[in-house]
Amino acid sequence: MLGPMTAKDSRAAPLAALAALLADETRAACLLALLDGRAWTAGELARHAGVAASTLSEHLGKLVAGGLLTEERQGRHRYVRLADAGAAGLVEELAAQVPAAAVRRPPRTLRESSADSAMARGRTCYDHLAGRLGIALTDALTLRGLLRQDTGFALTDAGVEWFRAAGIALTVPGRRPLARACLDWTERRPHLAGAAGAALCRHVLDAGWCVRIGSERAVKVTPKGERELGSLLGIPAGSLR
């Protein structure tokens, strides 16, 4: 016999609405592109997604209304970006749940093959580092007792001191965690995100240890970066290339 009817969870409708926002290939393509952390114009996203500008405008309106994107206008241009690190984390972690077989296909051109390899080697994931580079940094921090992974990601006291000694400022805006695990969609392992991951990414780019390459999110370690990361974390130069 069924028991008394219980009230429906008030989160059910908003959760369904959020899932509906992501359940569209054009909107998904826009969200993945915006993981580079930059603001894109509506026209750039329309070309990237392969749809008409009028169609893309409708999709962007839904994503902004749903809280996943923010927008601003400069002159006649409309710029959009991911709303915050939480929105970026949601997109990246959902992408990591896609079975590898569903996205694995032979590259159609040499240029596409090179771009895929570069993204897998090292890239930005919104505001932190991912790919083999992100995993190498995460492993090195863990091996040296600077980062703990046994009960979720957490910087140790030694880790906080390491960031200070390296000249990497740790700021934690709002309720953002200092360290957070983000599942890497190419390596299928967690890399360092959160305020510490963002600070490390910002530092390696500002210091010239890494540079962006191409029009995607790919980054590569410079010779200076190889020396500095080898000195600070003992990472072999070969594993950074």
Q: pLDDT of 210-239, one tens digit each?
A: 999 876 688 999 999 999 999 999 998 887
Q: Residue 34 belongs to what domain range? A: 17-83
Domain membership flag for residue 184: yes
Residue pLDDT, tens place only, 172-189? 766 778 999 988 888 888
- Among 33, 62, 83, which residue terminates a domain? 83
Are residues 79 and 116 located together in one domain of the fold? no
Are residues 123 and 217 located together in one domain of the fold? yes
Domain membership flag for residue 68: yes
Are residues 57 and 124 located together in one domain of the fold? no
Q: Is 73 helix (H, G, I), strand (E, B) or coil?
A: strand
The amino acid occupying position 24 is D
Domain membership flag for residue 102: no
> The whole model's pTM is what?
0.73
Are residues 221 and 169 located together in one domain of the fold? yes
Residue pLDDT, tens place only, 53-62? 899 999 999 9
- Among 83, 103, 125, which residue terminates a domain? 83
